[in-house]
Amino acid sequence: MPAKTMATDKRALIVKCATELFAPRGFDKVSLKEIAGAARILPGSLYHFFPSKQTLYIAVVNAAFEFHNDQLLPAIEKRDTPHNRLVQFFSILTRLFAGESPQSRIIDRALFEARDRGLAPLAREIFERLHESMTPVIRELTSETLDPAAIDLIISHLFGVAYGTAKLLPIHAQLGAKLASAGGDELARDLTDMVESMLRGGYANAAFDSARAPWMRRPQTRRT
């Protein structure tokens, strides 16, 4: 096997092992020695591929986002109506956010650690293509002429809706049933209808609130 191929494979193995360790424990509770042990290499050999723990973590986050983009982009870039592309966006993204894969858990952490870990520039770069793919969808769905900054904000809201919905699944039986039905399309259609109604009503007056989708509210616990 050529040396370059071996180095590429070894780098991919290190990223895979690091992902599996960082996902449940986070950046601070995993050592480079542990990662080297999992990858079955000497700790010093890690520095040949990654000069620091921070650069390795950035590579792990990058790989996790690419894993998600590989599933999202084909669905939203195919020839279809804006409505159906948005349904696919929510169907795939909600399932990814709700999943327990190491990549999903890494993204969970990255969303909250972006500023602390210096990940904000990386996130912008990773999301650039996804924003480009979603921009025509948003333009066709809204009744307003929006500048790029407004479209970026809307797409960020869409991610927030998908993420927030996914995190409610463990405590909301109705939401879980919707995700389980027809591969999650029922839940995705509900989210799409809510967003389309708001966009067509005028983004300036739109509010992504629970009044449009009562099942998004956190259930109240009865006191006995």
pLDDT digits (tens, 9 = 90+) for 46-72: 999 999 998 999 899 889 888 888 888
pLDDT at residue 172 is higher than 50: yes
Residue 219 scores a pLDDT above 60: no
Give the dihedral sign, CA 208/91/170/117: negative
pLDDT of residue 73: 87
Asked if residue 199 has pLDDT above 50, the reply is yes
Q: What pLDDT score was predicted for residue 217? A: 38
> Residue 43 is encoded by which pair of tokens?
């700790």
Query: Residue 12 has what pLDDT?
Result: 94
Token representation of residue 78: 């195919």
| pLDDT for 204 | 45
Written as six digits, the tokens of 34 are 């542990």
Q: Of how many residues is the chain composed? A: 224
- pLDDT by residue (tens digit) across 96-132? 887 778 988 888 887 766 555 556 666 666 677 778 8
The yes-or-no verdict on residue 145 having pLDDT over 80 is: no
Q: How remote is the C-alpha of 128 from its chain's centroid? A: 13
Cβ-Cβ contacts under 8 Å for 201 (sequence gap 6 or more):
143
Question: Strand (E) positions, the chain?
Answer: none
How many Cβ atoms are within 10 Å of 105's Cβ, its own excluded? 19
Range in 141-145, 155-159, 173-177, 195-199 with the lowest mean pLDDT: 173-177
pLDDT at 16: 95
The token pair that represents 86 in the structure block? 């948005």
Residue type, 83: H
Give ranges for CATH 1.10.10.60 in the chain.
Answer: 1-51
Tokens found for residue 33: 């020695």
Q: Which fold has domain 1-51?
A: Arc Repressor Mutant, subunit A (1.10.10)
For residue 182, pLDDT over 50 is answered with: no
- Position 126 scores a pLDDT of 66
8 A C-beta contact, residue 187 and residue 90: yes
Residue 12 parent element (H or E): helix 3-25
Matching residue, tokens 């542990």: 34
Kindly report each contact of residues 34-41 with a partner whose C-beta sits within 8 Å and lies 24 or more positions away, as own/partner.
Answer: 39/10, 39/13, 39/14, 41/10, 41/14
Averaged pLDDT, 169-181? 54
- The CA-atom distances, in angstroms, between 114 and each of 52, 61, 106, 209 are 17, 10, 11, 25
Domain with CATH 1.10.357 in the chain: 60-216
CATH code of the region 60-216: 1.10.357
Query: Whose structure tokens read 């006995």?
Result: 224
**So what's the pLDDT on residue 194?**
86
Q: What is the DSSP letter of 117?
A: T
Q: What is the pTM of this model?
A: 0.70
Confidence of residue 218 (pLDDT cuts 50, 70, 90): very low
Q: What are phi and psi of 146, to 5 degrees?
A: -110, 145
